[in-house]
Amino acid sequence: MKLLLATGIYPPDIGGPATYAVLLEKEFPKKGIDVDVVTYGPAGVSRSFPKGLRHFIFFLKCYFSALKSNIVLAQDTISAGLPALFAARLSGKKFIIRVPGDYVWEQSVQRFGVKDSIDDFQNKKYGFRVEFLRSIQKFVVRNADIVITPSKYFGNLVSKWVKDPSKIHVIYNGIDLGNNKSQITNPKQIINSKFQIIKNKTIVSVGRLVPWKGFGFLIELMKDLPDWKLIIVGDGPEMKNLKSQILNLKLGNQIAFTGAIPREKVLEYLSRSELFVLNTSFESFSFQVVEAMSLGLPVVTTNIGNLSEIIENGVDGILVEPNNKNQFLNAIEKLDKDQNFRNEVSQKAKIKAKQFSIENMIKELVKLLN
């Protein structure tokens, strides 16, 4: 069997879909499924092309690949999903769409000034550009043969976009636990090109630098945590604004960005830190949270999206309200001061993370493809 994987992002881009694409490309051949990846960026169609031309070139690449493939699997609903849908239909191939997030909501927040949460967004009407994108997204999802979502939470949300909810299948993302050999060792002395040798306690946060990840709040929070350093791993459109915020708050000696780095380096930062903190207002599934848990790194994050499907509050992590300063500070203090609690959370987190293994994910995907 041969699979065309159409994805909007791919390493060196950072994000869940990029991680997911690499995992499929590595693991599917072991199950007798060859994978051909079509993507944008350094590994595919250059983003320097004008948008319409870029998408047309992407479609052509998908079409010629689909002719030699049995199944077309797309990883987002518009930039990859729409061209891949047309390629699948023209080549007569089965089309599967994996919906890792609401692309239209994300674009609306970044480009069109929408302030509503993803849940409120589903039930409101907006201007022409938003509704036009939403119509494309629903068209792609409704015309897919199978729809995959990475959590029950997001499956329920996507069910509102389709006429036949039975074609929605929830398959949790998996992480490559075999590569997570690092353990939490001597976190109080992190060797880092940004900080040189850190003797302070270190918080790490990982993700795309977009508004709903709430990095601005974390930066503000560091004013109340003078004994801690914050390392933000990732890149994105908010980088310039966040750096300006750090400069204005005079926190340059306390906070550092790594930019886009390989997964191995991400794991290195995780293994050398004391806490993983993520102030996100939306997650369909967080690879970064599960990877931190797999290393036994205590996690403090928000009680939104599917995070309550991953973390049992107070057992294998701590869940708080987004942007709630007191709750974040109390959670950080609890894990810092109560060593017994920290150790229990660490051990139970490693056990929980095993449920989200790549083996389980691949097994479910192969069953669906066959």
pLDDT the model gives residue 200: 64
Per-residue model confidence as pLDDT tens digits over 202-224: 999 999 899 999 999 999 999 99
My answer on whether 104 and 150 are in the same domain is yes
If DSSP codes are grouped into helix, strand and coil, which group holds residue 228? strand
My answer on whether 306 and 204 are in the same domain is yes
Report the pLDDT averaged over residues 106-121: 91
Q: What are the respective helix, strand and coil percentages of the chain, to the nearest 5? A: 50, 20, 35
pLDDT score of 198 more than 60: no
pTM here is 0.80
In the chain, the amino acid numbered 127 is G
What average pLDDT does the chain have? 90
Specify the DSSP class assigned to residue 122: T
My answer on whether 209 and 161 are in the same domain is no
pLDDT the model gives residue 261: 87
Report the pLDDT averaged over residues 132-150: 96
* Cα torsion angle, 148, 307, 213, 159, sign: positive
pLDDT the model gives residue 162: 92
My answer on whether 136 and 155 are in the same domain is yes
Report the pLDDT averaged over residues 113-131: 93
My answer on whether 152 and 237 are in the same domain is no
pLDDT the model gives residue 101: 87
My answer on whether 86 and 181 are in the same domain is no
Kindly report the number of other CB atoms within 10 A of residue 156's CB atom: 13
Report the pLDDT averaged over residues 277-300: 92
My answer on whether 171 and 282 are in the same domain is no
Which H, E and C letters describe 243-264, residue by residue?
HHHHHHHCCCCCEEEEECCCHH
Spatial separation of the C-alpha atoms in residues 246 and 352, rounded to whole Å: 35
My answer on whether 248 and 119 are in the same domain is no
My answer on whether 362 and 348 are in the same domain is no
Q: What are phi and psi of 148, to 5 degrees?
A: -110, 130
My answer on whether 238 and 362 are in the same domain is no
DSSP 273-310: -SEEEE--S--S--HHHHHHHHTT--EEEES-TTHHHH
Of 95-104, 188-197, 274-283, least confident by mean pLDDT is: 188-197
My answer on whether 186 and 99 are in the same domain is no
Q: Which domain holds residue 328?
A: 177-356
Per-residue model confidence as pLDDT tens digits over 173-192: 888 776 554 444 443 444 34
Per-residue model confidence as pLDDT tens digits over 36-65: 999 999 889 999 999 999 999 999 999 999
CATH number of the domain that residue 43 is part of: 3.40.50.2000
Q: Which band of pLDDT confidence, cut at 50, 70 and 90, is reported for residue 258?
A: very high
Determine contact, residues 236/208, Cβ cutoff 8 Å.
Answer: yes
Determine contact, residues 361/171, Cβ cutoff 8 Å.
Answer: yes
Quote the Cα angle for 131-21-309, to 5°.
Answer: 70
My answer on whether 155 and 210 are in the same domain is no
For the chain, what is the domain count? 2
Per-residue model confidence as pLDDT tens digits over 151-169: 999 999 999 999 899 999 9
* Cα torsion angle, 135, 136, 137, 139, sign: positive
Helix (H) or strand (E) holding 320: strand 318-320
More confidently predicted of 198 and 273:
273
